[in-house]
């Protein structure tokens, strides 16, 4: 009889690549992971791991069993969802992992609305930039992830999640006071090819969107300052350290320190945000309730910004 808990350990090794990384994701020691994998090999009567230098990898049999482990995990999620669906009332806890702007603009209003509509539902929120929210989701540390679509969205474990568009918003140009381009009602990015730029750090999806938009405009931006905090970006722009592209919602309600904001001419770059849940959990009534409220708040807050 195969122990499903050991299959979860095997799947973690397949997703994370090393025993140490799998142990960290499962909050186990490396030796405990190794012991679980050895026990699993004894249960199935096949070698699942092979030594590759100082690391270990999956054998062909191990790869096959890891794929089954993913499907079994999905079915267990469906079983939990079905059991929850027949329970009377809606009560429980949902953990949402999202980046800071989404927390401010969508998650927080959803928490407030659910507190009134479904007081038995408790929403826990975790700030997770970049693709950290997807990793928390796959590892079972979050029930819903809110992340940004970009060219590196696909990652290990992507086959275990279901995604749904949440909202789209344009980027705006942020300029120092007195910048010549600030006199225009909208700005083509090519006009800023000679300016120094301020961007988020590589790995932040916004960084990739900015670079791609500049490439589409025919130039590579000269990045002189880097920050993931859009308040800091505005402050740096205001003192003349460079120009920037910032998602429109990130500029709401923050001190711009005198920086000038203008829309991008033509087809502006768009930040596309999606929700994700683990496959099999999408019919869980608590998750359906949370996802529906996130969509309601996104539609209310971003209807005017959608496009592109």
Task: Report whether 306 contacts 168 (CB < 8 A).
Answer: yes
Q: 43 and 54 share a domain?
A: yes
* Residues 103 and 32 placed together within one structural domain of the fold: no
Report which DSSP code applies to 87.
S
In a domain? residue 141: yes
Kindly indicate the confidence band of residue 291, based on its pLDDT and cuts at 50, 70 and 90.
very high
Which CATH number covers residue 94? 3.40.190.10
Give the model's confidence band at 308: pLDDT under 50 very low, under 70 low, under 90 confident, else very high.
very low
Quick check: helix, strand or coil at residue 88?
A: coil
Are 156 and 280 members of one domain? yes
**Do 60 and 194 sit in the same domain of this protein?**
no
Lowest average pLDDT, out of 59-73, 183-197, 217-231, 245-259, goes to 59-73
pLDDT digits 0-9 by tens, 77-106: 777 776 765 554 567 899 999 999 999 999
Domain-terminating residue out of 41, 64, 84: 84
Please give the distance of CA 156 from its chain centroid, rounded to a whole number: 13
Pair of tokens at residue 195:
């300016």
Confidence of residue 48 (pLDDT cuts 50, 70, 90): confident
Are both 71 and 210 inside the same structural domain? no
Count of beta carbons in the 10 Å neighbourhood of residue 183 = 10
Q: Summarize pLDDT for 6-37 with one digit per residue, the tens.
A: 888 888 888 888 888 888 888 888 888 888 88
Q: Quote the number of domains for the chain.
A: 3
User: Is 181 in the same domain as 250?
Assistant: yes
Residue 4 banded pLDDT, cuts 50, 70, 90: confident
Same domain, 204 and 189: yes
Identify the residue with better confidence: 268 or 92: 268
Quick one: 151 and 297 in the same domain? yes
pLDDT band at 70 (very low <50, low <70, confident <90, very high): confident
Per the domain annotation, does 308 fall within a domain?
no
- The DSSP element (H or E) to which 289 belongs, if any, is helix 285-302
Same domain, 230 and 279: no
**What range does the domain containing 220 cover?**
168-270
Q: What Rg do the C-alpha atoms of the chain give, in angstroms? A: 23
For 276-290, the pLDDT digits (tens) are 999 988 888 889 999
My answer on whether 141 and 25 are in the same domain is no
Predicted TM-score (pTM) of the model is 0.71
Among 58, 87, 57, 107, residue whose Cα is nearest residue 295: 107
Mark out the alpha helices in 87-139 (DSSP H runs). Answer: 100-102, 108-117, 132-138
In a domain, 99, yes or no: yes
Do 62 and 211 have their domain in common? no
Identify the CA nearest to 172 among candidates 232, 233, 218: 233
């Amino acid at each position: 009889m195969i122990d499903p808990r050991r299959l979860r350990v095997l799947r973690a090794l397949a997703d994370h690549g090393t025993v140490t990384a799998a142990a960290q994701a499962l909050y186990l020691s490396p030796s405990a992971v190794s012991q679980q994998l050895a026990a699993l090999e004894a249960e199935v009567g096949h070698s699942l791991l092979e030594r590759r230098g100082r690391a270990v990898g999956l054998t062909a049999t191990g790869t096959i069993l890891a794929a089954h482990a993913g499907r079994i995990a999905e079915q267990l999620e469906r079983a939990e969802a079905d059991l929850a669906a027949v329970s009377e009332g809606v009560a429980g806890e949902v953990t949402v992992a999202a980046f800071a702007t989404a927390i401010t603009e969508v998650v927080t209003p959803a928490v407030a609305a659910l507190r009134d509509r479904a007081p038995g539902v408790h929403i826990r929120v975790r700030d997770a930039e970049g693709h950290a929210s997807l990793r928390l989701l796959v590892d079972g540390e979050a029930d819903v992830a809110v992340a940004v679509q970009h060219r590196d969205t696909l990652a290990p474990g992507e086959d275990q999640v279901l995604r749904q568009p949440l909202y789209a918003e344009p980027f705006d140009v942020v300029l120092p006071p007195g910048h010549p381009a600030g006199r225009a009602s909208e700005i083509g990015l090519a006009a800023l090819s000679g300016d120094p730029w301020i961007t988020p750090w590589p790995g932040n999806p916004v960084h990739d969107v900015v670079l791609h938009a500049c490439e589409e405009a025919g130039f590579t931006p000269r990045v002189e300052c880097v920050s993931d905090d859009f308040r800091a970006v505005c402050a740096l722009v205001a003192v003349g350290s460079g120009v920037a592209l910032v998602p429109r919602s990130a500029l709401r309600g923050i001190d711009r320190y005198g920086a000038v904001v203008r829309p991008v001419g033509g087809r502006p770059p768009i930040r596309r945000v999606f929700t994700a849940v683990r496959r099999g959990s999408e019919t869980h009534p608590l998750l359906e309730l949370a996802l529906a409220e996130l969509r309601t708040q996104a539609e209310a807050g971003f209807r005017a910004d959608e496009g592109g």
